[in-house]
Amino acid sequence: MIGNFAPNPDEGMRKFAINLRDGLSKRAELICTDPRSALRMKDIMAFRPDVIQYIPGPSPASLLILKLLKRKIPHAKTCSIITHPYFFVKNPFCWIVLPPDISLTFSYSWKTYLSRFTKNVFIVPGAVDPVRFRPAMPNEKKSIRKELGLPEDAFIALHVGHLRKARGLLKMASLVPKGITPVIIVAKSTGRDAGFKEQLIRGKCIVIDEFIQRIESYYQASNCYAFPTQSTLRSMDLPLSVLEAMACNLPIVSYDFGCISKLFGGTAGIRIVRSDKEFIDSITDVRNNPPTVETRKAIEKNDWDNLARVIYSIYEETVP
């Protein structure tokens, strides 16, 4: 398994790699490495894997690494999961010249597209820890806010992600004049735009710029989850933070991003927007007219063990 397995993960791709590793290790013997070391590891050759699974990507670089490893270990099946589909995933050249043996995706639209160029394309579910990420009990929210130092009576719209302008975070500051308190938790491991944190703070956003062990507490303390990102370069196709918010049964206001609307657009409590005005108005309406929310119900069976079970069954189906 190739991915970033650094401890204390503070962003979606690392969480995904670590949780999938833990789930698959219950079913198979694994050896894990990071992308930079994959081609240099003699242990991989000695291990003689049946499957080589690449987590981040896909990208031309990741598909090339899989191709080169395939040459070294011809019997192994290579597998790419479309966690972060950059614009070049739509380039047929990648899939004609560097096709993996197995492709995994969350989206039926990606499956339809990739099936034109490669076989063995499978749909897999998203995953979250529904035990850790759970709704706050009615008497918990105020005590959690007090513990976290958050305003006890505010309507809090939360966003968890990268500190990048392209992430659309300035839209969060536009909520302040509407009487909404934006709380933004940013990953330190993914870089940031210089001075952008101060710009958000000047806009009256609460910005938390540190690793948080119990990130679930911030979801439980919030009234709504906001996903203002439009750029496909800036998040996973199925953002893990959205799934974590759903597990906490928060109402969610999100731009039409990735496969969020395709998978969950009809879920009670999820609003898909396509403009800045609609984004601000929808969160304001959630505050003024609390909706019926069934976001947890939509994902409560999609835990990490279930994802590992589905992926392992795909390995069994495709590996002789």
From CA 237, how far away is CA 243, in angstroms rounded?
Answer: 12
- The burial class, CB within 10 Å (0-12 / 13-18 / 19+), for 29 is exposed
Q: Which pTM value belongs to this model?
A: 0.92
**Which residues pair with residue 207 across a beta bridge?**
184
Element (H, E) at 160: strand 155-161
Is there a shared CATH topology between the 12-127+303-318 domain and the 141-299 domain?
A: yes
Residues contacting residue 297 through CB under 8 Å, at least 6 positions apart:
267
Span 128-179, pLDDT tens digits: 999 999 999 988 999 999 999 999 999 999 999 888 887 889 999 999 999 9
**Looking at the domain that runs over 12-127+303-318, which CATH code has it been given?**
3.40.50
Q: Which CATH superfamily is domain 141-299 in?
A: Glycogen Phosphorylase B; (3.40.50.2000)
- Kindly indicate the confidence band of residue 188, based on its pLDDT and cuts at 50, 70 and 90: low
Q: Answer for the pair 224, 252: CB distance below 8 angstroms, yes or no.
A: yes
From CA 69, how far away is CA 279, in angstroms rounded?
Answer: 45
- The SS3 assignment for 54 reads strand
Span 116-129, pLDDT tens digits: 888 899 999 999 99
From CA 121, how far away is CA 115, in angstroms rounded?
Answer: 6
- The burial class, CB within 10 Å (0-12 / 13-18 / 19+), for 197 is middle
**What are the residue boundaries of the structural domains of the chain, listed by start?**
12-127+303-318, 141-299
Cis check: omega of the bond before 58, within 30 degrees of 0: yes
From CA 114, how far away is CA 120, in angstroms rounded?
Answer: 9
Question: Considering the chain, what percentage of its residues have pLDDT values greater than 90?
Answer: 65
From CA 35, how far away is CA 285, in angstroms rounded?
Answer: 45
Span 217-251, pLDDT tens digits: 999 999 999 999 876 655 688 899 999 999 999 99
Span 286-308, pLDDT tens digits: 999 999 999 999 998 899 999 99
